[in-house]
Amino acid sequence: MKKIMVDMDEVLCTGGYLEIVNRFLNTHYTLEELPGYCAEDMIPKERLKEYYEYFKGQNVYEYSYEIKDAVEVLEKLSKKYEIYICTAYYADVYKMDYGRLLLDKYIWLQEHIPFISPYHYIFMNDKSLLECDIKIDDRLSNLNGYGEQKYLFSSYHNGNVTEDELKEVGATLVSGWKELERILLDVN
């Protein structure tokens, strides 16, 4: 069986980080309004410290929702491939106990993707170390390294990726899970 590495944030679920920012600022920003990947880019610099404190008490995954078709297609793929959910959980910036975020991720995966065993969860930051046949991620940098098929999952923040950038990593841009289903299960 071929092994597939599937990213979690912005590939299986989304919206949690932005919802916390909106609650903090009392705003209604949408993902499409973000200037880049990070929702906290919407926070005025002078309030960032206060925001990081606020964030520590939040569960991102309480506000996250499933990406369209993700669960349905992943379940089909799991019958033909060995699926590994590979997700980063650490970033210096929040200066918090990241064990909490890891647990919140774990619980979300258990609740929403029950057909993938926790034996197949990989919590790591440098995904280039993973020797999987197929990789699916919304960040091009996470597709570096091993992999015979690499798919950049279309997201609000990666719309301006160029053909040259994709070529350099050996990746193909996919519009969503239905396209992945067609490619990986040959469903028309």
Contact residues for Mg ion, defined by CB under 5 A: 7, 9-10, 138
The least distance separating Mg ion from the CB of residue 36, rounded to whole angstroms, comes to 13
Beta bridge partners, 14, equal 65
CA angle 5, 59, 24 (to 5 degrees): 120
Nearer to Mg ion, 36 or 57 (CB): 36
Q: How far is the CB of 184 from Mg ion (least distance, A)?
A: 18
| Beta carbon of residue 45, minimum distance to Mg ion (angstroms, whole number) | 25
Q: State in angstroms the smallest separation of the CB of 138 from Mg ion.
A: 4
Nearer to Mg ion, 81 or 153 (CB): 153
Whichever of 12 and 21 has its CB closer to Mg ion, that residue is 12
**Pairwise CA distance, residues 9 & 183, whole Å:** 21
Nearer to Mg ion, 9 or 104 (CB): 9
In the complex with Mg ion, which residue's Cβ is closer, 10 or 19? 10
Report in angstroms how near the CB of residue 124 gets to Mg ion at its nearest.
Answer: 13
Judge whether 152 and 10 are in contact, CB under 8 Å.
Answer: no
Counting every residue written for the chain, the total comes to 188
Q: Which amino acid is at 73?
A: V
Distance CA 12, CA 150 (A): 16
Which residues contact residue 94 at a Cβ distance below 8 angstroms, ignoring those fewer than 6 apart? 52, 55, 56
Strands of 3-6's sheet in order across: 121-123, 82-87, 3-6, 134-137, 149-153, 171-174
